[in-house]
Structure 1
């Protein structure tokens, strides 16, 4: 937890307040409208520190001893807030889902609640076991929508882009339920539930224009026997060569569909890319895929 701990400076008998001075020359000064918008939404917080992040202004602040972050547009429109929580403050459904899941025995390193202007709320649990780390994202009802081994700072999506990407998703997947929208790798990733599956839809953002790149979903092991025979044959050959198949994801793209097969090869994690017709396209180390 990012609980703020204040150490008493016994030898001096005082605590420096310089870091709390809003007029500190090292701190970003924001417009009166933006500061008013923040103060209206969070009137009783302390240690407010502003930073410009791309097209947004991020306010880091302390509330009840915990660090939180809120993002606003330059004109003062609130976009997203990330709250630091204790595990016991999670909704009971999320706690139960975590305790019943594959990472229940892992150490919980950090817990956050992410609230967005479109009304969506997600909960993020960072866990670790030895040298392995995962970031698990849950909906309020306990649905696990994302498992990330690599992640950076959560970045909001502009309100206009949120509306646009929702329209694009609905045009392509009319029956889909949108679970989450988040900036990812310079574009926008949308978690959806469609046709009984949870899918990730990725849109590239170029010069303010969103374009669909791919849709991905996990292929369950029980589904392997329903895949094209040529693909099943590749799986057999991989296993026969000593590789262990961990996960299989299916990618739909404008230029053709393919399977990404994660394998363990003598202690090294690799991705094997296989076309729908069974042609092996390429093999890469997982960290470089």
Structure 2
């Protein structure tokens, strides 16, 4: 896929609304972009614009809460992140959170994220002591992601989104696409396929072409007995050496498939990588994997 270059705004279309970005440079937006924002959020107040990558990001107040909306330079809406009171989460999300292991943790922040042509997602940031997690739910209470480290939620460009959808459906024709998100490593797609929730990861090369890197999904506790005998033997060796197995994830790649086993070894979290034939490939500290 070719990189989508956003062209500069013509001077005659620029209006006088300005803001300071992270470098204290004034950002101006086009009349079309401002009109698109005003049409979507007619009651917004305290609107501040900054440029964020290939997008224009508007921070604004709505319903007494802080929100952020992303637009392309020509005024196409892409994504909005709303601050949300915890008690305004959908009941299914509240129920799922209450039944989770994080129910007793302190809720630090809650956001609702809308994306163009994608499912609405809800993000709950929780903490307990020095531990912090970001939990991402669908409206029906399905837990999409459970992250210990996260950055800013960034949308994929509209052209990228269309291209990624085509690539996913080509590889997984029966899949339902749940979410698409861009980060510093590439583009991650959450899908539901064959009764499983999977993460499909793509990277872009120097020419702007997207290529599949891997697909991963979690192996449930009830599935441990169905793993290949060699992998079960590797798990037994890990536990026999005093390690505690926390999670097992399966990775599909073009170069071969493997299992990533998260273990706790004397209070140190590690990842152990095991091939389908049970061969130990490598071990890494979790924070450096």
TM-score, normalised relative to structure 2: 0.90
Corresponding position of 2:136: 137
Corresponding position of 2:103: 104
Whether the aligned pair in 2 keeps the contact of 1:28 and 1:49 (CA below 8 Å) is: no
Q: What is the deviation of 1:23?
A: 5.1
Q: What is the deviation of 1:119?
A: 4.2
Whether the aligned pair in 1 keeps the contact of 2:215 and 2:251 (CA below 8 Å) is: yes
Structure 1 residues 24 and 115: alpha-carbon distance in aligned structure 2, compared to 1, 3 A threshold: closer
Corresponding position of 1:267: 267
CA distance, structure 2, for counterparts of residue 204 and residue 50 of structure 1: 29
CA distance, structure 2, for counterparts of residue 98 and residue 23 of structure 1: 40
| Stretches of structure 2 lacking an aligned partner (at least 5 in a row) | 1-15
Corresponding position of 1:243: 243
Equivalent runs, 1:166-185 vs 2, <5 Å: 166-185=165-184
Q: What is the deviation of 1:55?
A: 0.7
Higher relative contact order (CA 8 A, sep 6+): 2
Equivalent runs, 1:68-147 vs 2, <5 Å: 68-147=67-146
Structure 1 residues 102 and 37: alpha-carbon distance in aligned structure 2, compared to 1, 3 A threshold: same
| Stretches of structure 1 lacking an aligned partner (at least 5 in a row) | 1-20
Corresponding position of 2:28: 29
CA distance, structure 1, for counterparts of residue 43 and residue 221 of structure 2: 51
Corresponding position of 1:9: none
Whether the aligned pair in 2 keeps the contact of 1:245 and 1:264 (CA below 8 Å) is: yes
Whether the aligned pair in 2 keeps the contact of 1:68 and 1:83 (CA below 8 Å) is: yes
Q: What is the deviation of 1:162?
A: 1.1
Larger Rg: 1
Structure 1 residues 23 and 59: alpha-carbon distance in aligned structure 2, compared to 1, 3 A threshold: closer
CA offsets 1:172-215 (integer angstroms, 9 cap, x no match): 11111111111133311111111111110001122322110000
Q: What is the deviation of 1:168?
A: 0.9
CA distance, structure 2, for counterparts of residue 132 and residue 78 of structure 1: 35
User: Structure 1 residues 24-33 or 102-111, which shifts more?
Assistant: 24-33
Corresponding position of 2:8: none
Root-mean-square deviation (Å): 1.4
Equivalent runs, 1:55-70 vs 2, <5 Å: 55-70=54-69
Whether the aligned pair in 1 keeps the contact of 2:118 and 2:178 (CA below 8 Å) is: no
SS at match of 1:95: helix
TM-score, normalised relative to structure 1: 0.90
Structure 1 moving runs of 4+ over 4 Å? 21-26
Equivalent runs, 1:224-235 vs 2, <5 Å: 224-235=224-235
CA offsets 1:260-281 (integer angstroms, 9 cap, x no match): 0100000100000011111111
Q: What is the deviation of 1:222?
A: 2.0
